[in-house]
Structure 1
């Protein structure tokens, strides 16, 4: 059971919103309207941890260990939304999200295979860690720079926790987990070949609500994410390479096989699916 150990390790590095955020260093001259709007959009996006947690608990009913860990993940993710809103409340109260805007990103996700979803969110944490690090560099106001750096470190730790559960799944179900993780890994490491950013909040999750069934589509400005990445924080090919390299590095450790490219990972995926097909009874 991983939950007790993960709870303890995350508790030891948990930051305090009042004591660990340097609110007194705020410099109003270094916060633009454009920057404040992006903070608002990120605060609303982080609020979608609520429906994601409801999805995790529903689709992992048979895994009490993982569901218990959700108590930690959910708390810390909602705290990210809260600290961004607190920043706006203190310094740009006109930009604080309304309760209706927050509630609009709470909608039901269709059931999905638990292992694929686990891998999807593992990659999402890696990507968000890099997005927030890049955002911290883009911002000029010292307090929000500190906040983005702080929450980026949380996302990295969450990715590490998900990786622990992925290792546990390999030990329990073997090739079924390998196939699921490799399949989603190929998808999430191929963002440069897609027209939109690959992150759980930007993927369709409710067929009945299509096309308004992504978190991003339900924001006050549905086109914000692409503009934030491409035109504002400049999340370029160099940053994207860091994301892909981190995904491939972790999967290399997980599968005990070196993957230097997405193509290497895809060949491994095909190897596993072929092996599984050969093991099926005629």
Structure 2
């Protein structure tokens, strides 16, 4: 089991909201209304760890080890929302999200293949680590800069934990797991070719609720994310390149094969897919469906 070891590792570096956030360094002159509004939007977005956890527990009922790890991930992700709300409570209380605004992002995600979902969230942690690093640079106010840096470090550690479970999946399921990871890896490393930010909170997850079936679509300002990325924190091609580089680097480690581009990963994905079907039939091999 990975959960006991991951618990110890993450417990040893867990930060305390009262002791480790330098609340006394707050400088009101360095926080604009525009910046404070983005803190509110991120606080609500982070609250979506709640429905994501419900999804993970439902879709991994046969995996008690991973489900137990969700207790750590859920606690730390909800804490991200809480520290952003606390920042607003102390310094801009009129912008604190209401309970209804938080509850709005709790809705049911449709069942999905567990391996693909695992890879999706692994890539999401990489992307969010970079978004928060860029947000820390964009902000001027010392306390929120410190908070975003702290959150980015948590997201990196969560990505590392997901990677451990991905390695375990490859040991258990071989090419089936590799194919699932490569498929989602190609998608999540192809943001330059899409009109939207590729992150789990911005993907459609419930056809019955379309078009309000993404986390971002249920925020008070559904257009906020793209504006935050493009016009505020300026998450440009150079930063997007860093995300793609980290995804490809980790795919190389997982697959024991070097990927220098998304195209190389996509070719490998096709090789894996071909290995999982019966020759001349196009039908999946037994156990590969």
Could you tell me the TM-score, scaled by structure 1's length? 0.99
Mapping 1:116-135, distance limit 5 Å: 116-135=116-135
SS at match of 1:277: coil
Counterpart in the other structure of 1:25:
25
Shift of 1:278: 4.0
Counterpart in the other structure of 1:93:
93
Q: Which runs of 5+ in 2 are unaligned?
A: 280-284
Tell me, in whole angstroms, the C-alpha distance in 2 between the residues paired with 1:36 and 1:98.
15
Counterpart in the other structure of 2:136:
136
Tell me, in whole angstroms, the C-alpha distance in 2 between the residues paired with 1:123 and 1:55.
17
Counterpart in the other structure of 1:6:
6
Shift of 1:179: 0.5
Shift of 1:255: 0.4
Tell me, in whole angstroms, the C-alpha distance in 2 between the residues paired with 1:275 and 1:77.
38
Shift of 1:93: 0.2
Tell me, in whole angstroms, the C-alpha distance in 2 between the residues paired with 1:110 and 1:90.
37
Mapping 1:57-68, distance limit 5 Å: 57-68=57-68
Tell me, in whole angstroms, the C-alpha distance in 2 between the residues paired with 1:88 and 1:194.
33
1:120-167: CA deviation from partner (whole Å, max 9, x where unpaired): 000000000000000000000000000000000000000000000000
Which segments of structure 1 move beyond 2 Å, counting only runs of 4 or more? 278-281
Shift of 1:275: 1.1
Tell me, in whole angstroms, the C-alpha distance in 1 between the residues paired with 2:276 and 2:51.
33
Tell me, in whole angstroms, the C-alpha distance in 2 between the residues paired with 1:51 and 1:116.
17
Q: CA RMSD in A?
A: 0.7
SS at match of 1:196: coil
Mapping 1:1-282, distance limit 5 Å: 1-278=1-278, 280=285
Tell me, in whole angstroms, the C-alpha distance in 2 between the residues paired with 1:278 and 1:205.
31
Tell me, in whole angstroms, the C-alpha distance in 1 between the residues paired with 2:107 and 2:272.
35
Tell me, in whole angstroms, the C-alpha distance in 2 between the residues paired with 1:274 and 1:102.
44
Tell me, in whole angstroms, the C-alpha distance in 2 between the residues paired with 1:99 and 1:36.
18
Could you tell me the TM-score, scaled by structure 2's length? 0.96
